[in-house]
Amino acid sequence: MRVEPPRAGVLGGQPRRPLTTVTPTTGAPATGAPTAPSPQRWEVVAGRRLHVALVSAAAAVAATSSGDAFLLAALLGLVAADVAAAGVAALVAASLTVRYGASSLGAVAGAQGVLGPALTVGDPYSIAASVAGALALAFVSPRGLPVLAFGLAAAAVVAGPDVSGPASLAIRIGGALVGLGLTAAATRYAPRRAARWVAAGLALTSVALATAGRFIG
């Protein structure tokens, strides 16, 4: 009796795989002595689910500009599983705090909603600080799913007004799309090691410019 192979793809596509559970990949060695102790199966599954959940949580906080900038920085660091990424995000949060006088993302969004996007309003130092902060987040993002959270966070820094009407909604959506595209491009084309150093430099520059904007500009 001929039996159709299970879910081999109706049109010859890839076999369907679950979202996060562990399945052997095609072409991988079936058995063999592992070179290093591998985590337990449930830990792999739980780690994957946890990561997707963290990315979603960070993206939700960034997209809705709710909560605190340092909380978002901590979430981004967890998403990247990288202390350097957390440090860069924390510096960007510090830059926002210096510019707006508060670390509340709601306050940042409210100010952008009333005054205009951070990219277009303010003295040159402050504008440059926002741009540098957004670029720092884009460059420090790891590849893959985390691009979603980092891109939305970058967008919230430069063009994340409180949504109070069609215009602000359009700015918000446009900013999010640009932020996601920029972050995806940065993770794809920039060498990772160099990108991390660039991001650190941009984040420090952002803090310095925000401070200059507060006291000079």
Binding site for other proteins (CB under 8 A): 3, 6-7, 16-25, 28-29, 36, 38-40, 43-58, 60-61, 64, 66-68, 70-72, 74-75, 77-78, 81-83, 86-87, 90, 94, 97, 101-107, 142, 144-145
Smaller CB distance to other proteins: residue 113 or 178? 113
Per the CB < 8 A criterion, the answer to whether 210 and 119 are in contact is: no
User: 3-class SS at 164?
Assistant: coil
Per the CB < 8 A criterion, the answer to whether 152 and 62 are in contact is: yes
Nearest distance, CB of residue 135 and other proteins, angstroms:
21
Smaller CB distance to other proteins: residue 129 or 178? 129
Smaller CB distance to other proteins: residue 74 or 190? 74
Per the CB < 8 A criterion, the answer to whether 178 and 127 are in contact is: no
Extract the tokens encoding 62.
């960034």
Smaller CB distance to other proteins: residue 155 or 178? 155
Extract the tokens encoding 30.
């079936």
Per the CB < 8 A criterion, the answer to whether 118 and 210 are in contact is: no
Nearest distance, CB of residue 172 and other proteins, angstroms:
17
